[in-house]
């Protein structure tokens, strides 16, 4: 969970495979730039799949701490694989739970700088497009540049640093 000092960047992994490895590389690069970073592995959280029926049973205990951890970080990097041309279920479900936990479903995202990266079996372009649409809809400031890698073309440290430099220049908007 969260450390006592809020990170400058929260790196969110939406898989426990290659995207978790990529997320750790982002954490390492943030720290090499002299900033604080924290890793959040969504696959390690005990959140049930969001459905209206499950929601009627009450808010899962893990949603509150997740919301608090996300609110504490002014900037995020999301590392997610492409699933069937879209967003992986663990990320979709987490966003759904976060969107129903309060009165203002956009509060968490409004004005927050977010960078996106993927390691996917293919190009990952569909994920990056769909995720950009969703994050923009929720009010986030999505960094224009993205990072897409795969086994044949892994992400370079210089590309990770370039994306992070862009992200770190952005400040959350006060709305």
d(CA 40, CA 124): 21
Query: Cβ of 144: how many Cβ atoms within 10 Å?
Result: 9
Tens digit of each residue's pLDDT (9 = 90 or more) over 46-55: 999 999 999 9
Tens digit of each residue's pLDDT (9 = 90 or more) over 74-118: 999 999 999 999 999 999 999 999 999 888 878 899 999 999 999
The gap from C-alpha 164 to its chain's centroid, in whole angstroms, comes to: 14
Average pLDDT, the chain: 94
Question: What is the rounded (10 degree) CA torsion for 161, 165, 168, 172?
Answer: -110
Whether 37 and 75 have beta carbons less than 8 Å apart is answered as no
Does the pLDDT value for residue 127 go beyond 50?
A: yes
Answer whether residue 4 is part of any domain. no
What CATH number has the domain bearing residue 84?
3.40.50.360
Answer whether residue 54 is part of any domain. yes
Burial of 61 (0-12, 13-18, 19+ CB in 10 A): exposed
Answer whether residue 2 is part of any domain. no
Give me the pLDDT at residue 4, please.
67
Does the pLDDT value for residue 56 go beyond 50?
A: yes
Answer whether residue 124 is part of any domain. yes
Answer whether residue 92 is part of any domain. yes
Answer whether residue 61 is part of any domain. yes
Q: In the chain, how many domains are there? A: 1
Give me the pLDDT at residue 157, please.
96
* Residue 6 in tokens: 């809020």
Answer whether residue 82 is part of any domain. yes
Answer whether residue 3 is part of any domain. no
Read off the pTM.
Answer: 0.95
Give me the pLDDT at residue 2, please.
46
For residue 106, give its domain range: 9-169
């Amino acid at each position: 969970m969260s450390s006592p000092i809020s990170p400058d960047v929260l790196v969110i992994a939406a898989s426990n495979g290659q995207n978790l490895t990529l997320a750790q590389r982002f954490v390492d690069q943030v720290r090499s730039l002299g900033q604080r970073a924290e890793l959040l592995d969504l696959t390690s959280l005990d959140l049930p799949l969001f459905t209206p029926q499950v929601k009627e049973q009450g808010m899962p205990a893990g949603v509150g701490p997740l919301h608090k951890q996300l609110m504490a970080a002014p900037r995020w990097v999301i590392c997610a694989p492409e699933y069937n041309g879209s967003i992986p279920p663990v990320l979709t479900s987490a966003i759904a739970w976060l969107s129903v936990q309060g009165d203002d479903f956009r509060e968490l995202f409004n004005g927050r700088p977010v960078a996106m990266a993927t390691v996917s079996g293919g190009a990952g372009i569909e994920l990056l497009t769909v995720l950009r649409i969703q994050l923009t809809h929720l009010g986030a400031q999505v960094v224009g540049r993205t990072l897409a890698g795969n086994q044949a073309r892994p992400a370079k440290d210089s590309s990770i640093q370039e994306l992070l430099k862009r992200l770190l220049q952005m400040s959350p908007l006060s709305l």
